């Protein structure tokens, strides 16, 4: 489809919608009006009972289960990306980051969004993103390990909420509410693949509600899925004339030549995930409740191809190592809530979560071990990553009649949290003299166990002094065992000017504690010609470079917005925001010890040795990467949501939808780098561009959900504004890589065959749109240096890198 025709399609959809915005179109045929999502009683961003989304003083979006299920692949990250304009995900991570999909809200880091399940804090992943791109440092909860079939709805609070929930809630909060059905259920099966014929996927899910006791419920879900490799790699210029060396001449006999390097694409993933949510009513109105999730995932990511000269006696046609994660993730919450003396409501709960990944390397070898001993294995155990979190909360609240238009709700509580992060060393063969090709094992100096404890106290008061005014004020103080304390506050207000129009606003300050992974992660990353060490700022070797240990970020959030109901079937919201972050934790660019064969900063090489890392022989460039409080940033933007639905009689019913986000990021201050780096900066032009320009300048989601009798047709047009980043081969000359505005069309058609059975066929990215290719001058410069060069698009492309995907689904309800 031509670019102009896609623009026309988007424009017609927009005009037809009468400029209507929505995030929660109705579910299946016969479902209720999508505007009723605004009547959903929310628990996120408030301690008041019974507050509806339409009356919230803070911006909040509700995504129901049917909206989430309409994503092409049964994955929560994809469902959120399609339906929340301010939410974007990583298209292709490098190394281990390819095995865990990262996502972020409002152009900030994944760590700036707090994930809750049923209002309780979710633990983070052990697999920290250290690829140096737009999602670097991300170690938040892995949303891909939560079954879609278990979710009743999601509440997305797009507002700073650190004063209410603590660290991580700077960009907002995603609260996943699990189903409580005690009868009935669903079974779904589906599959699909990319237009190009790879990335084949299959999935099976089931949900059932049970009533084990008259006053109890138990809701269970299970999902299993497979997603195969995709490959969008260009040919590897190292192995074509004029760059092909005589030593690698035999590569011409390798399968697929010259497309021998297949690293740029999706990892292959097999996973099974389960969830349980239950509760029982006890005497006196007390409820004992609990919920749990479990996930087992096996993921494989292809690494850069090594030529035929690397180990001709073992791999005469060269080889592509594969990095493997065998991950196990589980979490459970047990709690009790009810009403105590004098009308105080209480909620006491403990949550434990654990993510463990065993890291492997297959179809590889240790070159130095082979040269020294004449033999080497092809499979390596590289070590493990582990992240644990235990959180205990006691929340109390009560309404007081103080003569206001509504009771004054007073809430306070305490929280105790223990975070643990560990790295386990790999087997000796994975480490020996530079380690296994592609990913050396974790060394003894990388390995370690790290623990943090924190205690928090909060108070929150909310009420309406007069009939049309809602106020909510929160204060929280929190102390950490490793770097001190923070006290933050929030004031939120809403004034209903008329029954159909209200204004609202928020001012708050917040904080984010560095994750233990950001503080402590250490590893060596190796490509065919370069090697880089992730140097933790907690290590003594970082002091050799004059680098300080991490401290908490501090933020200030401001927002002002309107809520309008200009017609009976239309509800609209618009919120403008600004987020200032001081001492933001950012991943540096490459700080070179040696660059293209020349010494750049001897202190960097000395720090690598002091940290106990071993660099393979023959590397033309070596260096370190660090996380540091490198600068201050400012995010400015706006979110808009409107809903409209109408019945066209014999032509059926259409729910029109539109959502929008505009976001601009600016680095307002850069911390000076120590002299030991010999003029190199923590944030080079590449690192700054990842922060400022890698998110779409704007995002527009348009939709039309048509229903008539047994047919449902769902059409979405997603418009992604331009994005860009700079790249360099020498930190002197920089090349700009631009991606222009893209129009992505999603379409699915559902037929309700019987009351129980429904089938769906659909396509994401119907017209097979790809991102713009990387700067050709930059790629030529890589070729001239003999660097591997197969990535054709930006790895963080908001529209992905794989083009169109088509699928089918069958659903049975009972």
Q: How do the domains of the chain map onto residue ranges?
A: 19-181+229-813
Q: Which two tokens stand for residue 93?
A: 């991570």
Q: What is the CATH number of domain 19-181+229-813?
A: 2.40.170.20
> Given this model, what pLDDT does residue 31 score?
41
Cβ–Cβ contacts within 10 Å for residue 225, how many? 21
Closest to 470 (Cα-Cα) out of 499, 491, 488: 491
Question: Which residues neighbour 636 within 8 Å (Cβ) at sequence distance 6 or greater?
Answer: 577, 578, 579, 663, 664, 666
| Residue 494 to residues 202, 500, 504, 562, 640, Cα–Cα distance (Å) | 46, 13, 4, 9, 17
> Given this model, what pLDDT does residue 3 score?
41
Q: What's the CA angle centered on 507, arms 506 and 508, to 5 degrees?
A: 120
74/82 Cα distance (integer angstroms): 12
Q: Which two tokens stand for residue 747?
A: 């379409």
Q: Which residues pair with 418 in a beta bridge?
A: 390, 453
Q: pTM value?
A: 0.92
- Low-confidence stretches of the chain (pLDDT beneath 50): 1-36
> Given this model, what pLDDT does residue 102 score?
87
**Cβ 606 vs Cβ 548: under 8 Å:** no
Backbone angles phi, psi at 72, to 5 degrees: -65, -45
Question: Which residues neighbour 291 within 8 Å (Cβ) at sequence distance 6 or greater?
Answer: 117, 118, 178, 275, 276, 277, 278, 332, 333
> Given this model, what pLDDT does residue 37 score?
66
622/599 Cα distance (integer angstroms): 9
Cβ–Cβ contacts within 10 Å for residue 504, how many? 23
Backbone angles phi, psi at 558, to 5 degrees: -130, 140
Calculate Rg over the CA atoms of the chain.
27
| Residue 769 to residues 70, 196, 806, 810, Cα–Cα distance (Å) | 20, 12, 13, 27
> Given this model, what pLDDT does residue 419 score?
97
Q: b/e string for 288-326 if b means 16 or more Cβ within 10 A? A: ebbbbbbbbbbbbbbbbbbbbebbeeebeebbbbbbbbe
Dihedral (CA of 573, 579, 584, 588) sign: positive
> Given this model, what pLDDT does residue 17 score?
34
405/462 Cα distance (integer angstroms): 12
Backbone angles phi, psi at 716, to 5 degrees: -125, 140
């Amino acid at each position: 489809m031509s670019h102009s025709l896609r623009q026309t399609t988007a424009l017609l959809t927009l005009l037809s919608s009468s400029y209507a915005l929505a995030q929660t179109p109705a579910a299946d045929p016969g479902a209720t009006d999508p505007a009723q999502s605004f009547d959903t009683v929310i628990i996120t961003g408030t301690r008041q009972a019974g507050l509806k989304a339409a009356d919230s003083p803070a911006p909040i979006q509700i995504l129901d289960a049917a909206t989430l299920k309409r994503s092409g692949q049964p994955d929560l990250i994809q469902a959120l990306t399609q339906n929340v304009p301010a939410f974007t995900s990583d298209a292709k991570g490098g190394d281990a980051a390819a095995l865990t999909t990262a996502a972020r809200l409002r152009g900030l880091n994944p760590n700036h969004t707090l994930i809750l399940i049923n209002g309780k804090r979710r633990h983070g992943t052990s697999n920290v993103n250290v690829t140096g791109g737009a999602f670097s440092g991300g170690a938040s909860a892995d949303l891909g390990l939560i079954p879609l079939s278990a979710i009743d709805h999601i509440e997305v609070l797009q507002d700073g909420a650190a004063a209410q929930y603590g660290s991580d809630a700077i960009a907002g909060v995603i609260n996943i509410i699990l189903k409580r059905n005690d009868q009935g259920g669903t079974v779904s099966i589906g599959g699909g693949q990319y237009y190009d014929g790879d990335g084949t996927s299959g999935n099976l899910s089931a949900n059932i509600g049970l009533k084990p006791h008259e006053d109890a419920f138990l809701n269970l879900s299970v999902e299993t899925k497979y997603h195969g490799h995709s490959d969008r790699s260009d040919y590897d210029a190292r192995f074509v004339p004029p760059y092909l060396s005589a030593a690698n001449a035999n590569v011409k006999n390798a399968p697929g030549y010259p497309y021998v390097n297949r690293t740029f694409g999706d990892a292959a993933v097999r996973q099974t995930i389960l969830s349980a949510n239950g509760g029982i009513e006890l005497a006196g109105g007390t409820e004992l409740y609990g919920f749990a999730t479990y996930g087992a995932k096996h993921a494989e990511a292809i690494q850069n191809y090594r030529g035929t000269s690397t180990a001709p006696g073992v791999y005469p046609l060269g080889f592509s190592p594969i990095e493997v994660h065998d991950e196990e993730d589980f979490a459970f919450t047990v709690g009790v809530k009810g009403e105590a003396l004098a009308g105080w409501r209480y909620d006491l709960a403990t949550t434990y979560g654990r993510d463990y990944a065993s890291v492997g390397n297959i179809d590889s070898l240790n070159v130095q071990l082979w040269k020294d001993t004449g033999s080497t294995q092809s499979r390596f155990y590289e070590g493990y990553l582990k992240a644990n979190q235990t959180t205990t909360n006691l929340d109390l609240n009560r309404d007081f009649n103080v003569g206001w238009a509504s009771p004054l709700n007073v809430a306070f509580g305490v929280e105790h949290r223990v975070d643990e992060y560990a790295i386990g060393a790999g087997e000796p063969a994975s480490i020996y003299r530079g380690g296994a090709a592609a990913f050396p094992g974790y060394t003894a100096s990388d390995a370690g166990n790290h623990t943090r404890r924190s205690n928090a106290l909060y108070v929150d008061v909310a009420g309406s002094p007069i009939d049309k005014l809602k106020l909510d004020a929160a204060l929280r103080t929190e102390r950490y065992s490793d770097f001190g304390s923070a006290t933050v506050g929030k004031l939120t207000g809403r004034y209903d000017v008329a029954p159909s129009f209200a204004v609202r606003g928020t001012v708050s300050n917040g904080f984010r504690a560095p994750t233990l992974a950001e503080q402590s992660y250490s590893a060596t990353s190796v490509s065919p010609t370069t090697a880089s060490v992730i140097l933790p700022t907690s290590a003594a070797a970082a002091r050799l470079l004059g680098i300080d240990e991490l401290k908490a970020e501090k933020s200030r959030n401001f927002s002002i917005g309107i809520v309008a109901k200009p017609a009976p079937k239309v509800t609209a919201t618009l919120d403008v925001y600004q987020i200032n972050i001081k001492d933001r934790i950012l991943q540096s660019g490459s700080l070179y010890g040696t660059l293209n064969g020349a010494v750049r900063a001897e202190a960097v090489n000395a720090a690598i040795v002091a940290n106990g890392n071993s660099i393979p022989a023959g590397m033309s460039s070596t260096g370190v990467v660090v996380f540091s409080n490198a600068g201050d940033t400012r995010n400015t933007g706006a979110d808009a949501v409107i809903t409209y639905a109408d019945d066209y009689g014999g032509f059926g019913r259409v729910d029109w939808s539109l959502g929008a986000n505009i976001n601009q990021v600016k680095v307002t201050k850069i911390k000076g780098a120590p002299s030991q780096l010999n003029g190199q900066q923590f944030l080079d032009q590449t690192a700054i561009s990842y922060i400022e320009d890698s998110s779409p300048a704007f995002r527009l989601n348009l939709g039309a959900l048509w229903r008539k009798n047994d047919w449902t047709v769902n059409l979405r047009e997603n418009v992604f504004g331009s994005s860009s980043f700079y790249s360099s081969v020498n930190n002197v000359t920089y090349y700009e890589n631009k991606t222009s505005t893209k129009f992505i069309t999603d379409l699915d058609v559902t037929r309700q065959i019987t009351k129980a059975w429904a089938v769906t066929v659909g396509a994401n990215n119907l017209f097979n749109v790809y991102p713009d290719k990387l700067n050709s001058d930059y790629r030529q410069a890589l070729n001239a240096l003999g660097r591997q060069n197969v990535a054709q698009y930006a790895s963080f492309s908001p529209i992905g890198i794989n083009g169109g995907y088509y699928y089918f689904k069958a659903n049975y309800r009972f």
